[in-house]
Amino acid sequence: MQSELLGENEAMVLNTYFMDRLTPKHMPEAEFLQQCLEQHFSQCYPSIRNWVKADIFSKKYLVFPYNKADHWSVFIVYNH
């Protein structure tokens, strides 16, 4: 089923391990996310480059779930 709102290749849905792979082990997640927001995301990308097989920068939207202390959230990143 193709969405009428998004083209076939405009979004990528990632799994719950995305944040674990993206976040450096020596840095708290909140601090890391703040750095990613202040800088360009491509500077945070090397830790997942080999894990994600597709080019995430070519997608209009990235969608990924996140769980912290039994609280679930979903992130939707808009690449413009």
**CATH number for the domain harbouring residue 46:** 3.30.310.130
Residue 2 lies in a domain: no
pLDDT tens digits for range 42-74 = 666 676 777 777 888 888 898 989 887 888 989
- Is 30 within the bounds of a domain? yes
Using alpha carbons, select from 10, 15, 14, 18 the residue that is nearest to residue 61: 10
Query: Which whole-number Å values give the CA distances from 78 to 24, 49, 70, in the listed order?
Result: 22, 19, 26
Domain assignment present for residue 73? The answer is yes
pLDDT in tens, 6-36: 777 888 888 888 777 777 677 777 777 777 6
Judged by DSSP in three states, 21 sits in helix
Question: Rounded to whole angstroms, how far apart are CA atoms 26 and 54?
Answer: 26
Domain count of the fold of the chain: 1
In whole angstroms, give the CA distance from residue 35 to residue 56.
Answer: 19
Domain extent for 43? 11-78
For residue 29, being part of any structural domain is answered with yes
